[in-house]
Amino acid sequence: MNLIPLNPTPGSKWTASHPEDERAFVEHLERAGVPVTVRATRGRDIDGACGQLAANLDSRATN
């Protein structure tokens, strides 16, 4: 299973999991025999990660 952490996105009602919760979930899946990878996130620091760019464009369109 390829897990993709949620990127913080302005205006989203969703929030990212805490790192310890993410690790616990991965461990739970691994104990069940499910092969797991967690995708590395890139671009968060410049709001360029998946979903963040679209949110920036949407907010500019409404201003």
- Mean pLDDT score of the chain: 77
Question: In the prediction, which pLDDT does 14 show?
Answer: 80
| Confidence grade of residue 30 (pLDDT, cut at 50, 70, 90) | very high
Alpha carbon 59 to its chain's center:
20
In eight-state DSSP terms, residue 13 is S
- Could you tell me the pTM of the whole model? 0.63
Domain spans of the chain, in order of start: 2-62
Residue type, 19: P
